[in-house]
Structure 1
Amino acid sequence: MWFLKPPGVYAPQEDTWMLEAALRRECLPPGARVLDVGTGTGALALAAARQGAARVTAVDVSVRAVLTARVNGLLARRRIRAVRGDLLGPVTGQRFDLVLVNPPYMPAPATGRPPRAADRPRDAGEDGRRVLDPLCARVPALLEPAGVLLLVHSVLSGVETTLARLAEGGLDARITDRRFVPFGPVVRARAEWLRSRGLLAPGQDKEELVVIRARRTS
């Protein structure tokens, strides 16, 4: 499917396709409400709409991304509600049957400044958890009973930590997908720094991505 992918908006790539494949395995209940956090182009929001979700809300902090998602929804003739806001702020107090998250998860050297707009879709602090930790703490309250979170991120940003924190929130969390992908330009540029922190092995040239499925059990 063709998407509008303007500069400065996170374009669909390996992590997006992994999350979309996991989404296709989900059986959405009648009248399903789906949330796509950090929607970028709206690719995953539109995938949820194609799968039969009754209401799809897409959130992004970038004005350009929100406008892009809206345009892509119109082009695809699918109804999605794209809103601007930081993480889960725009949907506080709402409940969803499925939450999709492809967050910034790339560890980045400290600069003493917030990430530039162009870096926000990927850079997530020195440990890669600047966005992951708030999400793990706040997502459980957004899920309906038996609601599901699908989350993708790199092993460079602490998969076991994510599993533990989701479990603390009352979710049954487990890894459902793994994929090794060749380093992209960002990881290549930071390879020596990542090795110095023990996050990459000598000679390693692939990054491992995982999808975590977490289900609310109470």
Structure 2
Amino acid sequence: MTTPLLTLPGVYAPQHDTHLLAAELDREPSLAGADVLDIGTGSGAVALAAAERGARVTAVDISWRAVLTARLNARLSRLPLRVLRGDLFTPVAGRTFDLVLANPPYVPAPSARLPHRGPARAWDAGRDGRLVLDRICHGAPDLLRPGGTLLLVHSALSAPDRTLDLLRGHGLHASLVRRRWVPFGPVLTGRHAWLLEQQLLAPEQTREGLVVIRAERTD
């Protein structure tokens, strides 16, 4: 994206995972005319990167502030973007897409439930970090057209192997296509002692692994 993005207070600002997903999106073939869904769009950064390449993009977020932010950024960027408010796939029930993008909440948290409000709703995802990831793995295959692709980014702390197993179990060809190690941000730094207690981190670990998983519907 060439236009600087606005991020309203309480909306997830583009970070390492955003840039990693956008970099993998750049490797996809021509998006001109493709129907694309961006789940958990936040600021709209990745959705707008797809729109910039000529895709018809629908972006979804459960946060009204995120919806407003993405709409504002689309207007500032002068790019067409349909932004809907809702929980994951609910706003697009019955539709299918050529490409589904997802940067969902995935950070393991002391609470077993998802937050109902506040900034943590953008990252906290239950004690194993999979409350949203599992739903995407079960639901995304039905959103893909034959030949369609899912690009999903999340932390190595939240069991990438399970993601691969679930997607393959739904008949998709899934693989881990990109990995990057990044310094701990404020959330993991503040949660370091708890993560050690849960044996999710090694005592000497100072960086978080991020992964992008690509899954394709080949039928």
Report the TM-score, using the length of structure 2 for normalisation: 0.96
Partners of 1:72 and 1:104 lie apart in 2 by: 21
* Matched-pair contact (CA < 8 Å) for 2:42–2:66: yes
Does residue 24 in structure 1 map to residue 44 in structure 2? Answer: no
* Matched-pair contact (CA < 8 Å) for 1:36–1:100: yes
SS of aligned partner of 1:120: helix
- Counterpart of 2:146 in structure 1 is 145
- Counterpart of 1:10 in structure 2 is 12
Does residue 51 in structure 1 map to residue 24 in structure 2? Answer: no
Q: How has the CA–CA distance of structure 1 residues 32 and 106 changed in structure 2, closer, same or farther, with 3 Å as cutoff? A: same
Deviation of residue 31 (structure 1)? 2.1
Deviation of residue 169 (structure 1)? 1.1
Partners of 1:74 and 1:118 lie apart in 2 by: 24
SS of aligned partner of 1:82: strand
Deviation of residue 113 (structure 1)? 7.3
Partners of 1:113 and 1:33 lie apart in 2 by: 30
Deviation of residue 30 (structure 1)? 4.8
* Matched-pair contact (CA < 8 Å) for 1:115–1:123: no
Q: For structure 2, which runs of at least 5 residues remain unmatched after alignment?
A: none
- Counterpart of 1:37 in structure 2 is 39
* Matched-pair contact (CA < 8 Å) for 2:172–2:215: yes
Deviation of residue 192 (structure 1)? 1.1
Deviation of residue 102 (structure 1)? 0.2
Partners of 1:92 and 1:77 lie apart in 2 by: 27
Deviation of residue 118 (structure 1)? 1.6
Q: For structure 1, which runs of at least 5 residues remain unmatched after alignment?
A: none
Partners of 2:218 and 2:118 lie apart in 1 by: 37
- Deviation per CA, 1:111-157: give whole Å up to 9, x if none: 76744322110000001001000110000000010100000000111
The aligned length equals 217
Q: Percent identity?
A: 58
Does residue 122 in structure 1 map to residue 101 in structure 2? Answer: no
Mean CA deviation greater in 20-29 or 72-81: 20-29
Mean CA deviation greater in 105-114 or 186-195: 105-114
* Matched-pair contact (CA < 8 Å) for 2:41–2:59: yes
* Matched-pair contact (CA < 8 Å) for 1:24–1:51: no
Q: 1:1-218, aligned counterparts within 5 Å?
A: 1-28=3-30, 30-53=32-55, 55-110=56-111, 114-218=115-219
SS of aligned partner of 2:14: coil
